[in-house]
Structure 1
Amino acid sequence: MVVRETEDGHVRPAVEVGLLGALRLRVDGVEVAVPGERRRALLALLTVAGRHGMGTGRLVDALWGDDLPREPVAALHNLVSRLRRHLAPHADLLERRPDGYRLRVSVVDVTIVRDLLASAADTPDPAERLRLTVRARELWRGEPLGEFAGIPDLDTERVALEDLHNRLADTHVEALVECRDPSATATARAGVASAPLRESSTRLLIRALAADGRVGDAMAVAMEFRDRLRERTGLDPSPALASLEQRVAAGSEFCQAETNPGPGVTSRRRPAPPAGPLVGRERERAEIVRLLSAHRVVTLTGTGGVGKTSLALDVAADPAVFPGHAVVVVNLAAVARADRVLPSVVSTLGLEVGVGASVDAIARAVDGSLLLVLDNCEHVLSSCRELVAAIVELAPAVRILATSRVVLSLPAEYVLRLQPLTFPTRIDDVDAVARQPAVRAFVEHALRRNPDFAVSSRELADLVDVVRRVDGLPLGIELAARQAAVMPMSAVARMLDGALDLATGTAPVDQRRLTLRSSIDVSFRRLTVVDQAVLASLAPFPGGVSLRTFESVARSVEAEVIGAGGIGVRGDGGLDPVGTLHRLIDSSLLVADASDGRYRLLHLIRTHLLDHLDRAGALAVAEDRFLDECVATVRDIGDEWLGVAEFEA
């Protein structure tokens, strides 16, 4: 810590930064105004980065985004110089490092609050806990980092600070309740109003009301929370709420700390099987069961709409699969933010591990023989990866089946990539067409909506065209089959010109799957800028690309994007076509065909990317690159035609 001694002998921090409200800078105890949005954002970014500092490319991306200056590195240097002036005579605390910058801040209010909260957790005396939490709450001046919305690193930190604020509020209210403070009920009610779906806040309000002798009000709060949670998330409260309700109803232990009822997962029933027909997945289903018997973690991956969730639920619902195990499904589609993953797992499993428990504590609490299904991991991947790694290490009896468009990339993970259903390429053999999984699935879905549905011989060509144009994706087949139940197949085929915008009909809680287009776009937007550009550049290639062509296109595109100012898109800033290829395959947006060594886009993904290029005004450039590659391929063939590679040519 950098400090200075005042004339009266007291030690004063040299530089203090406040994040818990409007950004504040103090130098030698005097508040210093920091003007300018980017200058303030730079101070916040370097403060949050702490002793590790932040790389130049990442700072440029955070501060300018897509609106890059002509000389971004020089612009950053200028911004740093201006910030150093505010730190004088401690400008040397803002250090230049080989890969970026670091600010050695003496005091950050966030650190003080975290230390106070940790001390409160270790203090058995409720009066002392109350004193510590009051002191911590005094440092909270307003919304942390509220002025920096849209800067990803600061958005992530804001989420962490929201969680810190919630944990502080819970600890404070619990101390009020245990001290019989008359303000406990009002404070607890304010906490529930600010976070109506946080069970811990609701339990504290129930305890506060019960301590006041208001048993009826306490039970009403519990009932309202149960209804609210089910209506908004589809989840049930943890067993801890039911345990508290029983104690309140019995009139005992109103103010004692809640006891840990244990995980309670072994008594849970199997989840319900998927509602729709599961056709053509017999081989994959058997493979999942086999893999789970041999591996702790199996990830079922594939593009959006390929049927990962349905297949996972079908396996989980089967009582013949791991009959000695409890089976719990955590639906992460309803979890909007990464910091909500652990609370969702705790609530679904019925764990009582305390407010703000670490991932290791949660992993240890997941006890006994359990098959844990983590469904829809891709949008909260880092949190899922951290949780699964901890469970593998600390809960040896637990097996995990994850579904995700992007693999977890863990050493213990075994990946099963789910492909679209196969569909016929010819219609001359009617019986063979009828046996194809994509056709069987289409008919099954149509029959569920129209028991009299049948395909005539003259409609067979239209049916095959429909399943082909939705790439054999189960979700696309289901959407098209809905239309076939009420209109001729020829009309359904005509509708598929807008197949990407067919509504999926899923519940509003899963906003990621409202249309096939939005389902694809979610995965596309998670890619880096460079990877997006490379993937889109493949759209003009109707038959996919070879490895040589992919490397050529990727090098060209990556060089253009980085040269145009995409600094720091990847950590090393270098060209790495093979690394890009692996990321695109792992994101389930590019299909690898091992049989002929080609890489291709599904029809719907290709259509989406062509639309994306057209809207961006980049379609002509991408088509020119396609033609250049065609010419290069012809020249290669010409060079090899009369040489040793004649046969391959």
Structure 2
Amino acid sequence: MLAVQVLGPLRVRRDGVVLALGPAGRRAVLGLLALAHGKPVTRAELVDALWGERPPPSATNVLHTHVKHLRRLLEPERGRRAPSTTIPAVDDGYALALPPDAVDVVRFRSLVARADPARAGDPHHAAELLGRALALWHGRPLADVPVLAGHPGVVTLDGERRAALARYAEVMIGAGAARDVLPALVEHAAEHALDEAMQALLVRAYTASGQRDRAFDTYNAVRRNLTEELGVGPGPELSAAYLAALEEPAGDSAAAPAKPRTPGAPVNQLPGDVAGFTGRQAELAALDRVPAAGRAGVPIVVVCGTAGVGKTALALHWAHRIRSEFPDGQLYLDLRGYDPRSPVAAEDALTRLLDGLGVTGADVPVDPDQRAARYRAELADRRVLVVLDNAAGVDQVRPLLPGTSSCLVLVTSRNSLAGLVAVHGAHRVDVDLLPVPDSVALLRALIGERVRGEPGAAAELAARCGRLPLALRVAAELAASRPGSSLAELTGELADRRRRLRVLDVGDDVRAAVRTVFSWSYQQLRPRLALAFRRLGLHPGADVTPFALAALTGRDPDEARADLESLARNHLAQPAGGGRFTVHDLLRAYAEELAGEHDPEPERTAAVERLLDHHLAAASAASDLLHPADRPYRPDVPVTLPLPFTTGDAARAWLDAERSTLVALCRFAEHDDRPRFAVDLANTLYRYLEGGHYADALTVHGCALRAARRAGEDGMLAAASTNLGALRRLLGDYDQAAGHLREAIERHRRTGDQHGAARALSNLGVVQERLGEHEEAASLHEEALALHRRSGNRYGEASALLNLGNVHSRPGHHADAVEPLERALDLFGRLDDAVGQASALSNLGDVCASLRRYPDAVRHLSRAQELFQRLDHSYGVAVTLSNLGNVHARLGDWARAHRCYTAALDGFRDIGHRYGEASALNGLGEALCLAGRPDDARAAHIDALRIATGTGDRDEQDRARAGLGVVRQRV
């Protein structure tokens, strides 16, 4: 007997056995025929659905071939010339002729029609019919046939499901059975965040089931989404649901309330106040008149003015004055808007700001819009001052604005940012040149009493500096370093230098003054310091370390550190803490100009290459300490400078500190046509970034792939596609992952790279496993295993055996998993790879538990836990604890199972591993149900379903739904 599943991934079963349908086009043809069950679909309609407006000349022949193969598959007993009874030809098309009960979409529509109030009569009977109809769904219609995602038939079905779910929810809430509809509502809400009617039903269901905390959380989340995405507030239906929740008497909630966010220590990222800050009383008074935070709208202040006029100094001085008004902290970010090499992209800025708020690793959303939403959510109800320095324009700032009036945003820019003023009501404070008295006062504060003795020369010096604070500070430092010279002599030198440079900067007095003072100070530098200053203009990152300058200059790090400190004393660089230094964007631009004038192009190129090589070599050495087994697959870059670390902990700290610089270098390599460096750096950082820095990983691997595509070299393209595909797999974006990995496999085969092909095959195998295609997954892992054996890669062989065992770790196949996992354990032991041994032991213990070999399970898992703890491997510890929870639950030791699951959840949440969190929640739900606590079990499964729906992990979605089904049966 044939059965066709359309409500979810397309499946055809004969007597319960799933048939292999073949390529995507063939699946699409069958899906379209199933959607139209019994009604003919013309060839023209099929061609249009498969190829759109540009079908290939062979479209009709391809279509005929697909139908021929489908007929053979569905009717294996039919003779070659016998007419088809399952897919008969009808006029100029085909139809699917199966009994109504054979196609799930027909059964769904029949059940919904019977549940119509006019026919069902009894609400309880209607609820039973609708529940049966909705139980037929296993995900989006034809979820694994992407070409039909926007087909009218699929869109119509989605609408029918929504209507059935809404009707079911209404009936269940009215019947006092709101809890039973929660899982379906939670799943829909996760996929349709802006569907107000369904979100209102979810709020009502939570309220009716006594979970007012969750009702309020849901309402607030929807309200924020509507405001941020559409610029509107909640409509009457959602507002009414919220008011009903408010009016509901508070009682004992049957489910534990959502855990409140635990606030960390207030963040303080403000650089120090400016020494010797002088004047600006009018500007400070204008800033003091800005409406206080907490009123309607987000308070935004724009401090604008020409380059070097002291915008940042004013903003920071005022920020320090008002910081006590923001007890939850102060964020600071230099957007480098006028840096021609690497202005900070808005999505990267959000990552850095979230990092300051304590949101790191995998908790940082990959999608930029979701990242912005998470940033606004973190700032909601917190009083934080956000300082955005050196913004280029409104588009760079707008995604960084909070969504709550409790925060204040302070922006500096050379641009007037009129869009922020007009659209967002920002308050603009214009900063002009320092008045002469204030300029002289600043010189007096920096130089001392010599200014009082030569007031005329001091005023002349201020004028020569254009009354710009940056130029005044540089000139004052030079004057202080020459106590034997009068100010008049120094002013004369400056005037003479201005005359010699007048051919430059014609028509721009401000920039001419700045350049004159810079050049005057630069001329006083010793040749070594002058070279160091010029090299700073070649660095693409936001800050520079002594090691980076040593690479740029070809000196050792101690000499470079001394050079940076000397440049800082001359106000040509600025200490930024942690042994790092920054350079004002005007000085950076001047340094780059000087490098172009004085250093031959081959020397500049060699300096940049040394900088890139240093970071690549250091990143590779850090990865060697953290992931030694992967050493043969990283680029071999000689270490030319002493490494700033010798232990694994120090290596990880270095990677954490340099991460933003490494991302900037990868962006630079992409735009500077250095694809080999971009790909090599991405390969080197893969294991570090996969540990949870997914937003940065997406940037790095995206840069590498784009650079490789421009180069058109198969080896680089294969490596970059593998990395991006593996990352997309981790993120649960399985369609994109499969596309990148299939391309990578083809290119690896073309270049003969067996290791690369095996790695891509393994990742694709994991994707197929998560999609429920276990047979294909096993085949891919076996192919990877064969490649590793052929190339003599023992570590790869062990990893492939581990993956193969994992594929078999499912109901009905656990016995098949034991042998490959035991072989993997043996190989990892011979290789002395502790992480591999622990992983194999953990998985083997889980399989033994499923086979009811509980003593073996406890022994393997306990060994795995000890190894992971010794290695400080947080993810491994969490996985092992979750697996131990499974064992203790099966043994009936509910207290120990609960402790294991709770500890595992804490571990997964700490590292941001969403799949692990969903898995542990499902395990906890299963244990709670067996322990006779169905309400708590339901809450755990609902949370797991919410997470798994967001990540796309179907196995945990199915597990959560199955758990909820068991709970319903036990209540």
TM range, normalised to the smaller chain?
A: 0.3 to 0.5
Q: Which has the higher contact order (CA 8 A, sep 6+)?
A: 1
Flag the structure with higher strand content.
Answer: 1
- How high is the TM-score relative to the length of structure 2? 0.22
Larger Rg: 2
Flag the structure with higher helix content.
Answer: 2
- How high is the TM-score relative to the length of structure 1? 0.33
